[in-house]
Every structure is written in C-alpha cells, then in structure tokens.
Amino acid sequence: MALRRAAERLLRAGLHALPAEPAHDLALRLLPFVPPRASTADPRLRTTLCGLDLPHPIGLAAGFDKDAVAVDGLLRCGFAFVETGTVTRHAQPGNPRPRLFRLEEDRAIVNRMGFNNAGLDACLRRMARRRTTGTVGANIGLNKDAAAPLDDYAFCLGRVLEVADYVTVNVSSPNTPGLRALQQAQSLRPLLERLVRTRDAAEERKPLLLKAAPDLADDELDALTDLSIEHGLDALILTNTTTTRPAHLRSAARHETGGLSGAPLAPLALRTLRRVAARAAGRIELVGVGGIMNAADAYARIRAGAAALQIYTSFVYGGPAQIDAMLEGLGRALERDGFARLADAVGADLH
C-alpha cells in the first residue's frame, strides 16, 4: 500500500508539472491501466442513491471523463460511482484553449471547457463496453448551436437510458451560452415534463437527476426544488461550478472566466444544499458536490442532507488516496457521533 501511494504521488507530481488540460488528457489515457485498489470502505458507509446500492457515498462528478474513456480505471481507483459526460447529441470541440486552469494556492480549478466531447454515439459505445463492476451514470447537455433544446435533451435521455445506471440533466454549466436560463421556472417546467415522459416510456425505469447551479437566487432555487419534486425527479445534484470569485483568491488564474470549483466553492455549495434540503424536507434525494476537499467537508454535506457525494477537484489534487482518506474520516465521524450507519447521519443537522 505504501509503495503504491508513493507511486501515485510521483505520478501526480509529474502530471502537475504539465499544463492543466494536457495533464488531464494524459491522466485519462493512463487510467485504463490502473490496477484495482483494495477497498477501504467501512461497512457502515454502505448507502443507496435512488435505489442504487453503493459501497460508500463518494462518486466522481461529471466533467472529468466526458467521453467515458476511463470508466473502468476510475472505478478501480475506488469510486462508488462514476458520472460520465457532459455528453451532447453531436460532437463538438468546445471553447478555444487554454480553457482549464489550476489555482494551486487556492486548491481550486477554473474551467471554460464548453461541453467538449466526441458526441453521444461514441460515449454510448464506450459505456456499453465497460467491464468493471460499479454504478455508472451519464450527464447530458446541449450543443452550443442547439436549435430545439427540448428535442435534443429528450433524444439524449432516450439513448443514454439504454446503457447508464442513472442520467443527470445538466442545465447549470456556465460555459454554454443561455444554458443556465433553462433553470428558470418558465423554461424548466416544459423541459422536465418532456424528460419525465421520455424516462417513463423507457423499457426500464432508471433514476433521473437534475444538476443545479450554486448562483441561483433563493426564490429561483426554491422554484427549481419544487418543480423537481412535482415532476417526480429522483434526485438533485448540488452544485455545479460558480461564476463568482471570492475576494480571498490568491492564484494568478483567479481572473480567468469560467466555472470555479474546489475549496472556494465549498461555502456556497453547502449553503445551497442546506436550503434545498430544508425546502425538500425529504421529498427528493440530494447529492452533495462542490468543494468537498476532505472528510470534514464530506461529513458536513452528509449531515446537511446529502445521501451521496461527488468529488472532482480534490481528486485532481489528491488522487485515489483522497478517496481512502475521506472514507477513513467518515468512518471515524460516524463512530464519534454515535451513528450506526451512514444513513442515520443524513440530514442530522436539519432536525
């Protein structure tokens, strides 16, 4: 174990010596060769998300493996579930480079990738070929030039349902013009109506999730929560990246446009989760994401109402060992607070 962690630290140092996007591309090419890790998950951490059994609550957020090229390797890293995408109906190159920036001093990342991906067909072929046991979801979005958003979302959903264990609808990326407007009630209602019909017409009913931005006003967030419950969505993912920039950022790339993730996002993402959890009152499951950098952050999201978690930036900075550390810390937190299992801690701060 010690030798493996030393090798992972050396590899991570090498990757971080490269610019952010070339390093990311290289990591994706290397991940299929990752050997399985011994599970360190405490049995008390077993949980469920929308009826899906998970060995522990920590999954990988969308955006890391957009085209499902490294799903097997990522599952072997120790994730309980992996979310591919965001994938769009047609392939598109995304925004011009450079478009991915590490904010090392702030333990953060800024991206303005713009849904760069090889398209729906390529992603589905790879997902269908995965061999490693584990839960794999797909995150769907819109092409930059999409003329009929409802049609494109419904088309993507219908196809993805054939191979994914669950599907997340992304209406909250800041890097596709006009996309976040779909979170407004007048646009969201017809979109959810269409998507729920598509889901319910599928041969097998699979969970349908919605990912929200952390930058919504309280009334907008309340409306999104209410509509998601009204239309029978299975879960909300809270949150995507933020376009805001806290005044305390120190890194040279802090002024780059795009979505900010990592440690500076944590307070905003946690606040959003708490508001939605209070509003939903247990009527819809919640997934916490955004600035979860350590076990304390993870446990705070659990106590705030998240049944499962996703990480991205902390994986970039900490590698697979980050998953192990979080799981060990979560186990200690449950023991300290007298919870027999993770489910007992979900929403503990809401009571």
Q: What is the pLDDT of residues 264-318, one digit of tens each?
A: 999 999 999 999 999 999 999 999 999 999 999 999 999 999 999 999 999 999 9
pLDDT reading at 209 higher than 80: yes
* Catalytic option among 39, 172, 173, 261: 173
**What pLDDT does 344 receive?**
97
Is 56 a residue whose pLDDT tops 80? yes
Query: What would the two tokens of residue 40 be?
Result: 């360190």
What kind of architecture, by CATH, is found in domain 2-350? Alpha-Beta Barrel (3.20)
Residue 178: predicted pLDDT: 86
pLDDT in tens, 95-116: 999 999 999 999 999 999 999 9
Alpha-carbon 272 to chain mean position: 15
What is the number of H-type helices and E-type strands within the chain? 12, 13
Confidence category of residue 3, pLDDT binned at 50, 70, 90: low
Tell which wins on pLDDT, 262 or 177.
262
Omega before 239 within 30 of 0, i.e. cis? yes
How confident is the model at residue 137, as a pLDDT?
98
What's the rounded mean pLDDT across residues 48-72?
A: 97
User: Is residue 11 scored above 80 in pLDDT?
Assistant: no
> What are the extents of the domains in the chain?
2-350
**Which pLDDT value is given to residue 308?**
98
Which has the closest alpha carbon to 212: 192, 239, 233, 186?
A: 239
**What pLDDT, in 10s, does the model give residues 294-309?**
999 999 999 999 999 9
Helix (H, G, I), strand (E, B) or coil at 44: helix
Q: Say which residues have a Cβ less than 8 Å from residue 158's Cβ, sequence separation at least 6.
A: 198, 201, 202
User: Is residue 173 among the annotated active site residues?
Assistant: yes
Q: What is the pLDDT of residue 7?
A: 65
User: Per-residue b/e over 269-300, b at no fewer than 16 CB within 10 Å?
Assistant: bbbbbbbbbebbeeebbbbbbbbbbbbebbbb
DSSP characters for 53-122? EESSSEEEPTTSSTTSSSHHHHHHTT-SEEEEEEE-SS-B--SPSP-EEEEGGGTEEEE---S-BS-HHH
